Amino acid sequence: MKRGLVLLTFVILAGGLLLIPALLDFGVPAFSDMDDYFLKNGQEQTAANNIVTAVVFDYRGFDTLGESVVLFTAVVGVGLMFRRMLKEEEYEDE
């Protein structure tokens, strides 16, 4: 039952994914106005030569904060896993 559900989901996902190369053309994007804006004005607005950095830290800086937070969260989570447990914490349910 559970296995069947997983396989069904897998088939749906695979079918969806297979449609991507048939429908999306590589190298000729349909719209590019947002990125043209970055390439045209990014250098003057942020004074950074590297437009990728300008996007990462200026135009989409908030995403980068989120991404650093993800790393921080993972570190805290890993630390939590390997903490020294107290004796009275070691119980088992049922």
Partner 1 sequence: MRMSKLVRTGADLLYPFALIFGLYIILHGHLTPGGGFQGGAVVATGAAIVIVAWAYEDVAGMIRKATMKVQESAGLLLFIGAAALALGLGYAFFYNVLANSGSLFGLPVPFGANTGELNTAGVIPIMNIAVGIEVWGGLTIILLYLLSGLNKKEEGS
Partner 2 sequence: MNGFLIEHAPALLIMLPLIGAFATPFIGRVSPRVRSAWVVLIMTLTTLTALLLASDVFLNGTQIYVFGAVTPDLTVPLDSGGIPIRIIFTVDAMSALMQVIGAITGFAVLLYSLSADRIHSGLESFYTLFLLMIAGIMGMVSTGDLFNFFVFLEILSISSAGLIAYRIDGGLAVEAALKYFVLSTIGAMVILIAIGIYYGEYNALNIAMIASRMQFTLLDKVALVLIIAALAMKCGSVPLHFWTPDAYSMAPSSITAMLVVASQASLYGLFRVVFTLYNVTLNALTVGWIIIILGVLSMVVGVTMAIPQKNVKRLMAYHAISQTGYMLLGVGVGLAVLGNQPLMDSFGYIAMEGGIFHIINHAMYKGLLFLTAGAIFFRIGTYNLNKMGGLGHSMKYTMIFFIIGALAIAGIPPFNGFASKLMIYESVFAFNPVLAVIAMVVSILTLASFVKVFHSIFMGPKLPEYETVQEAPVPMLIGMGLLAVIVILFGLFPQLVVDGLIAPAAHALTDQSGYIAAVLGGA
Partner 3 sequence: MFWNLPFIAVVTLSLIGLATVVTKKNLIKIFLGINIFEAAVNLFLISLGYREGGIAPIFTSAPSTDMVMATPQALTLTSIVIGVATSALLLSFAVIIWKKYGTIDTDQIRRLRE
| DSSP state for residue 60 in the 8-state scheme | T
Taken as a whole, the chain contains a residue count of 94
What's the min distance (Å) between Cβ of 83 and partner 1? 10
Q: Could you give the 3-state DSSP secondary structure of residue 10? A: helix
81 lies in the site for partner 1, by CB under 8 A: yes
Examine residue 79 and tell whether it contacts partner 1 (CB under 8 A).
yes
CA atoms within 13 Å, Cβ hemisphere of 15: 6
What is the spatial distance between Cα 49 and Cα 53, in angstroms, rounded to a whole number?
Answer: 8
Please select the residue that binds partner 3; options are 34, 84, 86, 88, rule is CB under 8 A.
Answer: 34
Candidate list 1, 4, 29, 89; residue touching partner 3; CB under 8 A: 29
Site for partner 2 in 37-66 (CB under 8 A): 37-38, 41, 58-63, 65-66
Site string for partner 3, 49-88 (x = CB under 8 A): xxxx-xxx---x--xx-xxx-xx-xxx-xx--xx------
DSSP state of 88: G
